[in-house]
Structure 1
Amino acid sequence: MEILKGIAVSPGVVIGRAFLIQDEGYRIVRRTVSEDLTEREVQRFDEALKDSITELHDQIATAEETLGKDAADVFGFHVGMLRDESLTDPIRERIMKENITAEYAVSLAFEELAQRFQTMPTEAFRTKVSDIWDMQRRVVRHLMGEHRTHLHDTDEPVIIVSHDLTPSQAASFNKEQVKAFVTDAGGRTGHTSIVARALGIPAVVGLENATRLVRHGMDIIVDGNRGVVVLDPDEKTRQEYDQYRTRALELTRILREVAKLPAVTTDGVHISLYGNIEFPDEIDQILENGGEGVGLYRTEFLYLTSDTEPTEEDHYNSYVQAVRALKGLPLTIRTLDLGADKYTQAQALEPERNPFLGCRSIRYCLQNLPLFKRQLRAILRASAEGEIRIMFPLICNLPELRQAKMILNDVMEELKREDIPFNEKVPVGMMVETPAAALMARFFAQEADFFSIGTNDLIQYTLVVDRTNERVANLYTAAQPAVLQLIRTTVKAGNHFHTPVSICGEVAGEPEYTMLLIGLGLRSFSMTPSSIPRIKQVIRKVNVEQCVRLARKVGSFDSPHKIISQLRKSTQEVVPEIYGNNSN
């Protein structure tokens, strides 16, 4: 028996047989053609492109019917990319100039695109690499005259094991036969993970070496709640997981009821719980799980799902859709957090050497005012429809915040001159996601209407750790004393100047951190919608003084191991039903 730990991306527990899928790939060698045949190669490429887009539209229709619009949006991104002339025109030019086959030109273009996405500073962008390979395979298949292939049918329910799965593969699963999947690669925000959640299939990704350790037909357990995969489990472990699965079903029932209740501690303190979204359609999940609004709307996904740069109307329509779906509940819109992507790099003289520390996020917006103003106009116009808050990302110094607010004021004046209605008192806040912002929080608190602590980037920049790099990913944890001290400093500054402070990173949705965060003074959390009931369950079982004592206790610890052990111990004592008794 062997236990593997990865990233939980879709909940549930399944015991079954492994179905090992080898990577579907094509080895495209460099082949040249005579100059008089290059136009024919371009024509072949255009035909393959057209067939690929037609196939994708069929897949979108099927996905909308069976999986919902969010999953279908995955393939909308593919259509947008394949229609993007900044991608397709260079392929045609390369064929004509270098006298190469369409297959080879396509392989080069998508390989370069994948490399660009891989170096982007935002994880949500880096996880789109599998989508790029999916698009490449699709176009090459059509160039080779091959029909779209599906996963082989099986005679019994199986668990798919693969190095990676493209969104197309995941969407083609027969839910009656494929009970779960695990992959070596992947992340929480990847499109394949989105499809898995839409299908309701338990999934664990980022296992690194599952395909090397799993044999075809091997019995395995997939724990999509905790990111654990057990290979060749013994009888005792099987029984434990059978019991755990029963408890998990009971917990689901409990949390379904908890979702309807207020998030109030036993001593009567209300904790606001919001959801993070990338698409307006996700708001339904927030409401179903008992959320009180949107604490973080990641608007850069408008760029990933469009074949052209979004217009002001594209922005406006998306925001209005979200506002109306919330029916009076607040919507916090984060302005563009674009990094070293195809939009920013297209305007650069050369790709940035270190995009994580380069011209990204608010820095990019301040240097590209038409793009920034276009979004601000749309947000302000939408503010006439409901409660909207504006949040600037990656603010590191006061001049950045002041400049962003000045530009916002300029846009307000433009709208007034045009007699376009908007909320003139729209709250304007900022993300605290760098050590610089946290250490200067007492100054920012005097100029921002609210703070939202973005722990994902705060951890990365504080600890100098890329969590997607498996060689150092073990160092990435919010339980580092330095990270907790920065959170404490930010909350203290916010409280002193009566500036509301929220937390919106992954930590906000992890139950073992809930008591600590309340103890540090946080009263507002924003998280993945599905996490809301679990956090609410913890909140309803504790009092504030209990949380303050825990925060003081772990504040004296000098290692993340001691801190996380104490947090888990304290949380298990309060809500044992969330953890069960299985320690795998």
Structure 2
Amino acid sequence: MKERGSSQAKLDNIVKLIAQDIVAEVCSIYVLRPGDVLELFATMGLKPEAVHQTRLHVEEGIVGQVAALALPLALSDAQKHPNFAYRPETGEEIYQSLLGVPILRAGRVLGVLAVQNVTSRNYTDEEVEALETVAMLLAELFAGGEIALLEDETAGTGGGRPMRLDGLMLNEGLATGQAVPHTRGIVISQVIADDPEVERGRLITAVAEMRGAIDGLLARADIAELGEHREVLEVYRMFAEDRGWIGRIDEAILSGLTAEAAVEKIQVATRARMAKVKDPYLKERLSDLEDLGNRLLHHLLDPEGTDTQDLPEDMVLIARNLGPAELLDYDAERLRAVVLEEGSPTAHVVIMARALNIPVIGRCRDIVTSVRFGDQVVVDADNEQVLLRPNEEVQESFSSMIAERDRRQEMFAATRDLPPVTADGQRVSLNINAGLLIDIPHLHDSGADGIGLYRTEIPFMVRDTFPGVTAQTELYSRIVEQAEGKPVVFRTLDVGGDKVLPYWQGEVDENPAMGWRAIRIGLDRPAVLRQQIRALLRASEGRELRIMFPMISDVAEFDDARALLEREIERAAKKDEKLPTVVKVGLMLEVPSLVWQLPALLEKVDFLSVGSNDLFQFHFAADRGNPRLARRYDVLAPGFLKLLHSVANQAQEKDVSLSLCGDMASHPLEAMALLGCGFESLSMPAPSIAPIKTMVRSLKLDPLRDLLPSWLELPDHSLRSHLKSYAEEQRVDL
């Protein structure tokens, strides 16, 4: 491969060498091109004229199946396989058996390496492994530029034209900057070891250096303080200490590989195993393991890497996925935003980004292959969109938006200590949603009245074991103490469905939102719920405790949950444990069935909180995670507002405190509609407090409440235009 010559000549030599060594009549290399098309790039045995002419879509044919699954496939009679796709230009009809392996790098399929035999042949595990090792070397040669095949792909399939890509908001914010694609900067040039003992020594040294570097990250000033972001790195360090992982690498070295090739081999095997896993939490941990393996490769190869001084002052980091430590490799002062092709709200890298206040968009399909280094990028996380290579007019528009946002933030800062009182003198309660310790300082910075929703499940999801009563008590105590007397509403565990704890095994629900989750798990596994209640009681001793049960579908479920609470209170009293001064009990109204039981329910609860996100999707039978339905229905539809208006009226009649938490409360126009429906307490992300408070202070509430009932009878798809016109006429500051 070090010889001079064209890329085609090198590939032609490779397929000949492989065919001779594995005693096959055919050896072929297919390369993945833009559009998920596999193109035959080189062959020994098939007709030469088929090169660059034969193309298969991913999942088409056996080669396409190998690429789609990213797994090897060995067939003694390939033509009987249901995916066999005959291509007459190749002349492959005479070949009976086939072995194909994916050419993988960093979890990404670059192509397929395949061999074929005329006779029926059962390929051995050793032959499969040998071909996988060669494919690994091919991937490194592609990436290192020694075989220049992928110029058009690495340049971005979007070319130089502007593009708009949708994604999922993982951490809010608005930013512009130059694209910096995240690359490992690693090329493995030697696969076979001369001396396995020397390689084992290199591994031991590199592992020690890597662990020391991780300890250095933990000592950083912006990470040193306690919180879930630090717990993430602690778990990451535990991965680095895992003897099983190091042991598997050591075994690969003893098989004859260099230390770096052994690390890459174990990474490939891990990806293959994880591809079969359905548990979303475990899938998210793959990015942590990828990060760890890449970090070990850096210590083994000691590459110069990317000089951060050469990176732009305003960086937008682009990656398929990131581990938590990889994010910390970049200068946070210059990092404006992160865009991921994968990712989820509970991914460890997202928790780190929240701690550093960096906007993040995830699940942004095709971002990696569409962007080039230095491309101008606009990241609008609030509206879940990424703009690549926008024209000057768009750039200027977003720059103005950011400047206006900064100006408004300065104006909002002046409202922090002002009360949220309407222009006609009515007090509204504005609270924040929280789920991590790093959220608590925002309670005071924003001037919020309290925490209207504390999601207790998030700390459970960043751990690798279930926290016991002592650990939970310590966590809840810190939250209560840091709240400094402001009320905190603790929602009991809302896990299950798509929020899976790593230490719980269970079946994956076909419809997670309506599956075995939240209070359904709590009542089916009462020991778990009782332990959490016990910890909350202990953490709130001498103070008020507000506890809220999620996903209640009927009054009987609430009665059962409250009975568990009463048992824990009785237990604590018998043991002479200090109790909260007051325990207020409520629930989240998320399931429409409960609306019809409100008269009976309101006799039993101390407060009620509407979970607008789930209630909205159940009301319209529209999965809010489905992009085709994301904007089909509007929360400002008259039917949905009428439901909320009815709930508010019934709660007011029974003198039950009512609030709403969810996306609906975080936007000024929607919040104005909620106040018009009769809500007097809203809970939202901390950055929304100031704009909502500004709206509240400019609104005369009584006229809106008099007018709104007539609009609720309209057959319109949405009342958005009516509400906007009203706000303009009444000079409400939106």
Q: Which has more helix, going by share of residues?
A: 1
Structure 1 CA distance for aligned equivalents of residues 474 and 648 of structure 2? 34
Partner of 1:248: 405
- CA gap 1:25/1:347 in 2 versus in 1, 3 angstroms: farther
- SS at 1:303 equivalent: helix
- CA gap 1:498/1:107 in 2 versus in 1, 3 angstroms: same
* Equivalent residue letter for 1:538: M
Structure 1 CA distance for aligned equivalents of residues 164 and 508 of structure 2? 41
Is the Cα–Cα contact under 8 Å of residues 271 and 524 in structure 1 kept in the other structure? yes
Alignment of 1:34-73 (within 5 A): 56-62=214-220, 64-65=222-223, 69=227, 71-73=229-231
Is the Cα–Cα contact under 8 Å of residues 464 and 502 in structure 2 kept in the other structure? no
Q: CA deviation at 1:517?
A: 0.4
Cα-Cα RMSD: 4.0
Partner of 1:392: 549
- CA gap 1:364/1:222 in 2 versus in 1, 3 angstroms: closer
Partner of 1:133: 287
Partner of 1:564: 720
- CA gap 1:421/1:281 in 2 versus in 1, 3 angstroms: same
- CA gap 1:241/1:404 in 2 versus in 1, 3 angstroms: closer
Structure 1 CA distance for aligned equivalents of residues 207 and 567 of structure 2? 43
Partner of 1:325: 482
* Equivalent residue letter for 1:432: L
- CA gap 1:559/1:6 in 2 versus in 1, 3 angstroms: farther
* Equivalent residue letter for 1:116: D
Is the Cα–Cα contact under 8 Å of residues 180 and 202 in structure 1 kept in the other structure? yes
Is the Cα–Cα contact under 8 Å of residues 346 and 461 in structure 2 kept in the other structure? no
Partner of 1:171: 328
Alignment of 1:540-551 (within 5 A): 540-548=697-705, 551=708
Alignment of 1:120-269 (within 5 A): 129-139=283-293, 142=296, 146=300, 153=308, 154-157=310-313, 158-186=315-343, 190-224=347-381, 226-269=383-426
Partner of 1:411: 568
Partner of 2:71: none
- CA gap 1:539/1:345 in 2 versus in 1, 3 angstroms: same
Q: Which of 17, 35, 54 is residue 178 of structure 2 equivalent to?
A: 17
Structure 2 CA distance for aligned equivalents of residues 482 and 411 of structure 1? 41
1:273 aligns with 2:430: yes
- CA gap 1:16/1:165 in 2 versus in 1, 3 angstroms: same
* Bigger radius of gyration: 2
- SS at 2:220 equivalent: helix
Partner of 2:522: 365
- CA gap 1:554/1:163 in 2 versus in 1, 3 angstroms: farther
Structure 1 CA distance for aligned equivalents of residues 521 and 330 of structure 2? 40
* Equivalent residue letter for 1:17: Q
- CA gap 1:353/1:232 in 2 versus in 1, 3 angstroms: closer
* Equivalent residue letter for 1:407: L
Q: CA deviation at 1:142?
A: 3.7
Please, which moves more after superposition, 247-256 or 452-461? 452-461
1:107 aligns with 2:253: no
- SS at 1:267 equivalent: coil
Partner of 1:520: 677
Structure 1 CA distance for aligned equivalents of residues 210 and 634 of structure 2? 42
Please, which moves more after superposition, 246-255 or 192-201? 192-201
Please, which moves more after superposition, 287-296 or 158-167? 158-167
Please, which moves more after superposition, 62-71 or 333-342? 62-71
Structure 1 CA distance for aligned equivalents of residues 655 and 297 of structure 2? 62
- CA gap 1:517/1:342 in 2 versus in 1, 3 angstroms: closer
- CA gap 1:237/1:105 in 2 versus in 1, 3 angstroms: closer
Q: CA deviation at 1:141?
A: 5.6
Partner of 2:116: none
Q: CA deviation at 1:385?
A: 3.7
Is the Cα–Cα contact under 8 Å of residues 501 and 524 in structure 1 kept in the other structure? yes
Please, which moves more after superposition, 280-289 or 445-454? 280-289
Which ranges in structure 2 are unaligned for 5 or more consecutive residues?
1-161, 189-195, 197-201, 256-261
Q: Deviations over 1:108-136 (max 9, x none)?
A: 554455x311xxxxxxx6xx854532334
Structure 1 CA distance for aligned equivalents of residues 210 and 229 of structure 2? 18
Partner of 1:309: 466
Q: CA deviation at 1:377?
A: 1.0
Q: CA deviation at 1:553?
A: 5.6
Structure 2 CA distance for aligned equivalents of residues 318 and 147 of structure 1? 41
Structure 2 CA distance for aligned equivalents of residues 53 and 569 of structure 1? 60
Q: CA deviation at 1:183?
A: 3.6
Structure 2 CA distance for aligned equivalents of residues 12 and 206 of structure 1? 16
* Equivalent residue letter for 1:135: L
Q: CA deviation at 1:424?
A: 6.2
Partner of 1:294: 451
Please, which moves more after superposition, 143-152 or 265-274? 143-152
Please, which moves more after superposition, 512-521 or 487-496? 487-496
Q: CA deviation at 1:480?
A: 4.2
Q: CA deviation at 1:329?
A: 1.2
Structure 1 CA distance for aligned equivalents of residues 350 and 726 of structure 2? 31
- CA gap 1:24/1:497 in 2 versus in 1, 3 angstroms: farther
Q: Deviations over 1:46-105 (max 9, x none)?
A: 9999987765444333374489845434434545778899xx79x99xx99xx9985465
- SS at 1:138 equivalent: helix
Structure 2 CA distance for aligned equivalents of residues 456 and 46 of structure 1? 50
Structure 2 CA distance for aligned equivalents of residues 553 and 576 of structure 1? 20
Structure 2 CA distance for aligned equivalents of residues 102 and 213 of structure 1? 29
- SS at 1:427 equivalent: strand
Q: CA deviation at 1:279?
A: 2.0
Greater RCO, CA 8 A, separation 6+ = 1
Q: Percent identity?
A: 26
Please, which moves more after superposition, 546-555 or 60-69? 60-69
Q: CA deviation at 1:255?
A: 0.6
Structure 2 CA distance for aligned equivalents of residues 572 and 198 of structure 1? 37
Is the Cα–Cα contact under 8 Å of residues 346 and 462 in structure 2 kept in the other structure? no
Partner of 1:116: 279
- SS at 2:546 equivalent: strand
Is the Cα–Cα contact under 8 Å of residues 80 and 305 in structure 1 kept in the other structure? no
Q: Deviations over 1:216-242 (max 9, x none)?
A: 433333345544544433343344334
Q: CA deviation at 1:245?
A: 3.0
Structure 2 CA distance for aligned equivalents of residues 489 and 47 of structure 1? 68
Structure 2 CA distance for aligned equivalents of residues 256 and 267 of structure 1? 23
Structure 2 CA distance for aligned equivalents of residues 17 and 480 of structure 1? 39
Q: CA deviation at 1:446?
A: 1.2
Q: CA deviation at 1:281?
A: 3.6
- CA gap 1:246/1:474 in 2 versus in 1, 3 angstroms: closer
Q: CA deviation at 1:155?
A: 4.3
Structure 2 CA distance for aligned equivalents of residues 515 and 413 of structure 1? 43
Q: CA deviation at 1:276?
A: 1.3
Q: CA deviation at 1:535?
A: 1.0
Alignment of 1:440-455 (within 5 A): 440-455=597-612
Alignment of 1:411-430 (within 5 A): 411-423=568-580, 425-430=582-587
Partner of 1:75: 233
Structure 2 CA distance for aligned equivalents of residues 222 and 504 of structure 1? 26
Is the Cα–Cα contact under 8 Å of residues 265 and 541 in structure 1 kept in the other structure? yes
Q: CA deviation at 1:422?
A: 0.5
Structure 2 CA distance for aligned equivalents of residues 507 and 544 of structure 1? 18
Structure 1 CA distance for aligned equivalents of residues 187 and 323 of structure 2? 15
